[in-house]
Chains A and B, each alone.
Chain A
Amino acid sequence: MELLSSKRVDLVHDRLVDQGVDYEPLRLELLDHICCAIEQKMDCGVAFAEALEQSIHGFGPKGLERTQEATIYLITLKLRKMKKLAAISGLLGGFLTVFATVFKLLHWPGANIMLVNGIALIVLLFLPTMIYVQFKQTEGVWSKVTTVVGLITAIAMGIATLFKVLHWPGASVLIYGSSILLGMFFMPLYFVRTYRIAENKLFRSSIVIVIFAGIFLFIGLTQLGGGKIFSGGFLAIMERTYHMQETMSGNNAQYANQIDEKAQSSSEKIAEMRSKANELYLHLDDLQYQLIAATNGISVEAARNASPEKINWMAGPKEINQVLFAEEGNWTVKMLRQKMADYQAFALTQYPVANQELVSDNLSFTTLESWEAKQNQSWEAANFANRPLFFVVSYLDLVKTETRHIESQVLMYRLGQSTVAASTASLNEAPEIES
């Protein structure tokens, strides 16, 4: 048997390319096969051109193309199954995680179950299948490096998220570490590598969804960025409020002194009013630190000494509910309401009975009865139930300010009274000019 000349081999090769056999491993193999068949036919006296036609026709119409299709179908069967699994588990896990994060931020029930399932889907199904697909699909050192970096990043992210959700120590280190891996190593590598591969949109979109879920989770659970801006504003308002309360307290002390100078007789009553106001103010102050201590898991002493930036103002509402809605105790809302009502009632007794009705609106905490009537909701439920720390502490600050305000009202009234009394007295003491 005589071998075909290289020129004729080239002719057969060109013919295979024309027929659409572009998968090279198969084309080279079919080239050898057809050449063998031609050689055998030529041995039997058939001319090259006809032997070539017969061999090509032996495959049937579009036979070469179909052979290629069948080959690629068979060798990629497992890969396609894995791709489908990766796509489905990725989309499902990603969506579950995103929804769970939204649920968690809104304090809706079921968030933790969704989150654990979503992360389990991603870590146990999506990641292993995706790593397999990536390894099978890609060739070259850089693609393999991307895959390995992606695996490490994804595992770190999954573990970090679980740590954060379960409140285990070290979560923030893992979060920062995996964020750096994700943003500085994996994402640039991945996008550079895969930008050119435009096949299988479902598969690629699942990856994007999972990446978004991860970023979403990090921002949502750690309050990076937004949380800092929020707490900065909150702390500034708290500081201004405190200064306002101090100013009011200083003014009230001055009023009291002026009253004392003008009319010694009423000084006992003034002192009682001042001590009642201070008593309620200190109770509110103590209550704030009780709540900070309970939500942040530190002692009251530590809460008083802690710098405001170190306190987690988003904490609660579980611990707050436990303190404020306990059966009994000094720090319940019930006790607070009692103290506020007593203070209000005492302030009212500083006025003559005839004037009490007139001034009672000015002397009540704006938020007790009037609020309930307008909102059709109890004061306790609206301002304390299921609220985070920053909300309750701000509200208690408002009550503190109002305590000082009521004190001011009473003292200003007394000051007015004693001024009138003093001038009346001085008029009475004046020598009569005319009889």
Chain B
Amino acid sequence: MYICLMYSKELLKGTLRTVVMELLARNEKMYGYEITQKVKELTNGKIVITEGALYPLLHKLEADGLVSIEKVAIGKRIRKYYSLTDNGSSTAQQLVEEFADFVATMKLIIDPPAQPGYGTAIV
């Protein structure tokens, strides 16, 4: 699903939804190509979203009523802008909070805080 230079597929699986919805929450409206470029830019090219993963997700979000669309003609092309609906905004917030909590929890495992009392004599 991802072409990613830095992270394993397993690690990123399940975060695409969070990434896309958070980007839409920060920007009023975005189109597909813009989202891929924005992610590349924000992560210094460490995360690259592929079209093969992005577009199915966007269509699914549309079918679930989490995003609304706006079509703009660019010459002969039609550009489809996505923006979050009210429902989508609260879902985006939940996803981000959940992920932040997950990162904090992971940190407890990787980098446990020093606990006084263990192995040190208090004089």
Contact = CB atoms under 8 A, between A and B. Distances in A.
Contacts of B32: 29, 32-33
A59 B32 CA distance: 14
A32 B78 contact: yes
A70 interface: yes
B80 A32 contact: yes
A239 to B, nearest CB: 69
A25 to B, nearest CB: 7
A63 B1 CA distance: 10
A213 interface: no
B55 A29 contact: yes
A336 B78 CA distance: 93
Interface in B30-61: 31-33, 50-53, 55-57, 59-60
Given A25-B59, A74-B56, A67 B75 contact: no
Contact residues of A: prevailing secondary structure: helix
A75 B52 contact: no
Nearest to A26: B55
B59 A37 contact: no
B75 A6 contact: yes
Contacts of B62: 75
Contacts of A29: 32, 55, 78, 80
Interface string A54-83: 000011100100110011011101100000
A31 interface: yes
Contact of B77 (A32, A71, A73, A78): A32
Interface string B2-35: 0000000000000000000000000000011100
B103 interface: no
Interface in B65-117: 74-80
A75 B60 CA distance: 5
Interface residues of A, number: 29
B122 interface: no
A426 to B, nearest CB: 113
A28 interface: yes
A9 B57 contact: no
A219 interface: no
B79 A3 contact: no
A315 interface: no
A71 B60 CA distance: 7
Contact of B75 (A3, A63, A70): A3
Contacts of A9: 75-77
B121 interface: no
B77 A67 contact: no
A159 interface: no
A59 B50 CA distance: 8
Contacts of A30: 51, 55
A28 B78 contact: yes
Contact of B33 (A36, A70, A75, A77): A36
Nearest to A7: B76
B59 A75 contact: yes
A123 interface: no
B63 interface: yes
A4 B63 CA distance: 31
B76 A6 contact: yes
A74 B60 contact: yes
Given A9-B75, A33-B33, A70 B80 contact: no
Contact of A75 (B31, B50, B63, B78): B63
Given A32-B33, A70-B56, A59 B51 contact: yes
Interface in A2-35: 3-4, 6, 9-10, 25-26, 28-33, 35
A3 B56 contact: no
**Which residue among B51, B53, B80 has the maximum number of chain A CB atoms within 10 Å of its CB?**
B51
Contacts of A3: 74-75
Nearest to A66: B52
A77 B56 CA distance: 12
Contact of A67 (B31, B33, B56, B76): B56
A31 B77 contact: yes
B59 A67 contact: no
24 contacts: A3-B74, A6-B75, A9-B75, A9-B76, A10-B76, A28-B80, A29-B32, A30-B51, A31-B77, A32-B80, A33-B51, A35-B77, A58-B50, A58-B51, A60-B52, A63-B51, A66-B52, A67-B51, A71-B56, A71-B60, A73-B56, A74-B56, A74-B63, A75-B60
Given A31-B78, A70-B52, 12 more contacts: A6-B75, A6-B76, A26-B59, A32-B33, A33-B32, A59-B50, A66-B52, A67-B51, A71-B59, A75-B59, A75-B60, A75-B62
Interface of B: 31-33, 50-53, 55-57, 59-60, 62-63, 74-80
Interface of A: 3-4, 6, 9-10, 25-26, 28-33, 35-37, 58-60, 63, 66-67, 70-71, 73-75, 77-78
